[in-house]
Homo-oligomer: A and B are copies of this chain.
């Protein structure tokens, strides 16, 4: 039990859907790296009974409680007051904190007002950690071998304090931690249940201290091995053994042995193979281009796209023949292949992804229901096309088409890398 953590996030904004909590996700990752396991996450509003209750409960079940939020200078922030009640503290004025605040205000060219000055009043029975990026000090309490740390909710202040002060102190304070390792594989070509059935034996033969988890994404599955052991050396060897076993099971269906977005993985492989990319998108409406260009540095391999949402654009800009459009319809193998080849030529790119489908909710027919999508990918002279039946949901169809297109091209690019490594 020495290495378990509860995160308590405080703030009304977290309970009315006004602010998305990205802090705790980051904290979990960082805590995991140094061998701490987050077991519970609790969010309460800015009110004393609920905060006290959350403190009470957390301190009774884990040795480390990390609290974010509610320590700003305004009226609605009551975490400091509540900490005083919980730990029977009195507030005392701290000159070092005032000094830190004064420096902060000077740097930002702002006058020190009374509300900000009051942040230098701190509980008298805790350790004070200076906030290097803001005015609210961090407080570290200990009682009955439980550590409770209160820090700001502002993401960059929290991250600064965690990285420089809190994580190193935790590591030092709890030095009999178990080692925790995770490895995630991206797996294509399986549904979640198909994969689980196929891996039943693999899973049954895992050592007790290593667990397998399935995280279905749109169009692929993230498969995670998580291990815990007192010895890092032993665990590393165990994880490596299981990695090799898993590869033997899944071989080519493993898209990646690291947990990263497909657009990043595709980008890295394009860069490695020195290939450029363009897209011709109908039903995905720019989603693929938008994902690809969300990656910093993508201009090195991404040339651009034609979003051909109407049939006339498919003809005028992408040279799809009107006879094919009439005979086979826009959602057809003939059309999607022409789109891929045309955009490859127009943008003088080595590779292309083209999509044409019925995203829904309207536009479906008996012959081609909502969710019918044709995808073609090209890499130099090689072109592959495939028809899919995704789902009833517009958002799902767009994202599954986008991911599937990227996975299909990734396959082709990897083949290229095998021929010309």
Contact = CB atoms under 8 A, between A and B. Distances in A.
Interface residues of A, number: 115
Contact of A26 (B17, B211, B394): B17
A398 interface: yes
Contacts of A37: 15
A344 to B, nearest CB: 13
Interface stretch (A38-46, A87-95, A377-385): A38-46
Given A74-B196, A107-B369, 18 more contacts: A15-B28, A17-B26, A18-B182, A18-B259, A19-B215, A72-B216, A107-B391, A110-B191, A110-B194, A113-B194, A115-B197, A281-B286, A285-B290, A285-B294, A287-B293, A289-B290, A296-B360, A303-B309
A115 B288 contact: no
A41 B43 contact: yes
A156 interface: yes
A308 B42 CA distance: 45
A395 B313 contact: no
A38 B19 CA distance: 14
Nearest to A288: B286
10 contacts: A12-B211, A21-B21, A72-B192, A73-B192, A114-B197, A133-B391, A156-B396, A285-B289, A297-B362, A306-B307
B133 A392 contact: yes
A147 to B, nearest CB: 19
Interface string A330-353: 000000000000000011100000
A18 B116 contact: no
Contacts of A393: 133, 156, 160
